[in-house]
Amino acid sequence: MSDTTVRIEPVSDRDLNRVQRPLAGLLTSCVEAGAGIGFVLPLSLAKAERFWAGQAGALESGSSHVWAAWQKEALVGTVTLALARQDNGGHRAEVTKLMVHPGTRRQGIARLLLNTLENKARALGRTLLVLDTVTGGTAEGMYARLGYRRVGVIPDFAAGANGGFESTTVFYKRLSPVFAA
């Protein structure tokens, strides 16, 4: 029987040199499979790698947190928690760049990634999460299932990976705060 155990590990700025290549491979695979996550086709591995390398400053400063999901030695998923930086947004953060490799979907990997992200957000006092996702995409139903509240739709929000425009659906989730004992 094959081992499908998944490990969720944080990615630090120091890890990026080692991990940005597999993260780039994951990003290109997801965009090629039609994911609307900020990029259009064609997306080269080099461009995808530059995107991840560009996260180093935010990781170092702590304004972003990235996790990778590993199945054996394969990087099969990732998610980013981006903390709001405004003075009045100390309780808020955005969920971005959630993606799971097309070959390993429906195994609960996104659920594990989001659980990890939400625990970290709570620990940091970020009790309001916001995000947007392609209207009618797989993730829309997933977020609703995982307790995110649908706010509404912005039409023609982004160019689709394969041309045309896609609408986006905005969601939020309130997290219960962690109280010190």
CB of 94 to ligand COA, least distance (A): 10
CB of 90 to ligand COA, least distance (A): 23
- Residue 27's Cβ-count burial label (10 Å; 0-12, 13-18, 19+) is buried
Cβ distance to ligand COA smaller for residue 63 or 104: 104
- Retrieve residue 148's tokens: 């995110």
Cβ distance to ligand COA smaller for residue 126 or 143: 143
CB of 32 to ligand COA, least distance (A): 11
B/e letters for 45-77, b = 16+ CB within 10 Å, e = fewer, are: eeebbebbeebbebbeeeebbbbbbbbeeebbb
CB of 143 to ligand COA, least distance (A): 8
For residues 5 and 2, give the distance between their C-alpha atoms in angstroms, rounded to a whole number: 9
CB of 14 to ligand COA, least distance (A): 26
DSSP state, residue 39: -
Cβ distance to ligand COA smaller for residue 24 or 131: 131
Cβ distance to ligand COA smaller for residue 8 or 56: 8
Binding site for ligand COA (CB under 6 A): 30, 35, 37, 98-100, 105-111, 131, 133, 137-139, 141-142, 145
Partners of residue 95 on adjacent β-strands? 81
Give the β-pairing of 74-83 and 64-71. antiparallel
Cβ distance to ligand COA smaller for residue 107 or 127: 107
Residue 102: φ, ψ to 5°: -55, -25
- Retrieve residue 13's tokens: 């700025």
